[in-house]
């Protein structure tokens, strides 16, 4: 059963923040990141367990590595939808990045 995709506003803001940072040095990479993020998420409709489970950091969420293994898309699988919760750079401390977003 194909699920629909629901991007949380904060996850979209994080994606566009990463794209904006990349755009300063490499507009092509910025465009590729945005395209790959949306394309990868579309694949989750049919293969929702594609990403790895990360219960030690984000209970009930999964993480999909994208864009030359430089970013994590953090998502939660629901019965009828995939909820995209965050986009985190692999250069960030994953746990700290997740914890800091809970306070905002």
CA distance 2 to 23: 33
CA distance 41 to 86: 12
Angle at CA of residue 92, ends 75 and 66, nearest 5°: 45
The per-residue pLDDT for 29 is 93
pTM of the model: 0.88
Point out which residues pair with 11 in neighbouring strands.
Answer: none
Answer whether 98's CB lies under 8 Å from 58's CB.
yes
Domains along the chain with CATH numbers? 4-102 (3.30.2310.20)
pLDDT in tens, 59-104: 889 999 998 789 999 999 999 999 999 999 988 877 777 777 665 4
**DSSP letter (8 states) at residue 38:** H
């Amino acid at each position: 059963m194909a699920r629909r995709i629901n991007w949380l506003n904060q996850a979209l803001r994080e994606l566009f923040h990463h794209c904006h940072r990349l755009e300063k040095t490499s507009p092509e990479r910025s465009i590729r990141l945005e395209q790959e993020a949306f394309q990868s998420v579309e694949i989750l409709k049919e293969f929702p367990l594609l990403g790895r489970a990360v219960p030690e950091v984000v209970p009930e969420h999964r993480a999909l590595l994208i864009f030359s293994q430089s970013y994590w898309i953090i998502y939660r699988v629901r019965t009828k939808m995939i909820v995209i919760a965050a986009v985190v750079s692999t250069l960030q401390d994953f746990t700290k990045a997740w914890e800091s977003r809970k306070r905002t």
